[in-house]
Chains A and B, each alone.
Chain A
Amino acid sequence: GAGVSQSPSNKVTEKGKDVELRCDPISGHTALYWYRQSLGQGLEFLIYFQGNSAPDKSGLPSDRFSAERTGGSVSTLTIQRTQQEDSAVYLCASSSTTSGGTVEQFFGPGTRLTVL
């Protein structure tokens, strides 16, 4: 009965370093989303995976951001050459097959990234 898990829960890095954030979705969920939540802001959509289809990357803010999803399950969000403005909470969510967008998302606890 595990929910969505994310690791690490906190990450402090130096400007210019690369970071990898991990998301384990709920077993059987075909859809997986990454969001960024900055202080005082809403959730900013980053990328969406649905089954074996090509991901929707329309929300990635720059080419420093990339994500992959292996075997239709675990996903990794990679940020290269981190900048201070990348500091935020990165949230992962999963859902069962979207039925016309009516299905709820289940969120992980997030990874708080701090770039010094």
Chain B
Amino acid sequence: GNSVTQMEGPVTLSEEAFLTINCTYTATGYPSLFWYVQYPGEGLQLLLKATKADDKGSNKGFEATYRKETTSFHLEKGSVQVSDSAVYFCALSALSGGSYIPTFGRGTSLIVHP
């Protein structure tokens, strides 16, 4: 079946540090890949997505590149801010049993200190 594995947190960084959150996946066919973010006390919201190999999704300074050869979709940001503190979920959407049912990773908590 489909699965998403992302690095365990929490990831603790100082403001302006470089961020990488690793995400790898297993899926049949050609999935679409997503990063969702959940800020404290809020619901999940889409951060960025990529729908085919070598696509790069970007938003709010975050980037992730769909790497089919390594089945990865790592999230990066060059300079994090305190306001980026949140839980980040990697997800894929692939055809399974006739439906596109998204599969989510366990989430990685990011804590950014001033």
A interface residue numbers (CB < 8 A to B): 4, 33, 35, 40-43, 45, 48, 50, 56, 58-59, 91, 93, 98, 100-102, 104-110
Does A43 contact B89, Cβ atoms closer than 8 Å? yes
Does A50 contact B99, Cβ atoms closer than 8 Å? yes
Report chain B residues within 8 Å CB of A50: 99
Interface string of B45-72 (1 = CB under 8 A from A): 1100101000000000000000000000
Interface of B is mostly: strand
Interface of A is mostly: loop
Does A45 contact B103, Cβ atoms closer than 8 Å? yes
Bound-state CA distance A4–B104 (Å) is 19
Counting residue pairs across A and B whose Cβ atoms lie within 8 Å, the total is 63
A40-B106, A91-B44, A110-B43 known, 8 other contacts, Cβ within 8 Å: A33-B101, A35-B104, A42-B104, A43-B91, A56-B101, A58-B97, A98-B100, A102-B93
Bound-state CA distance A58–B58 (Å) is 33
Report chain A residues within 8 Å CB of B105: 42
Which residue of the partner chain, among B42, B97, B107, contacts A42 with CB atoms under 8 Å? Answer: B107
Bound-state CA distance A58–B93 (Å) is 16
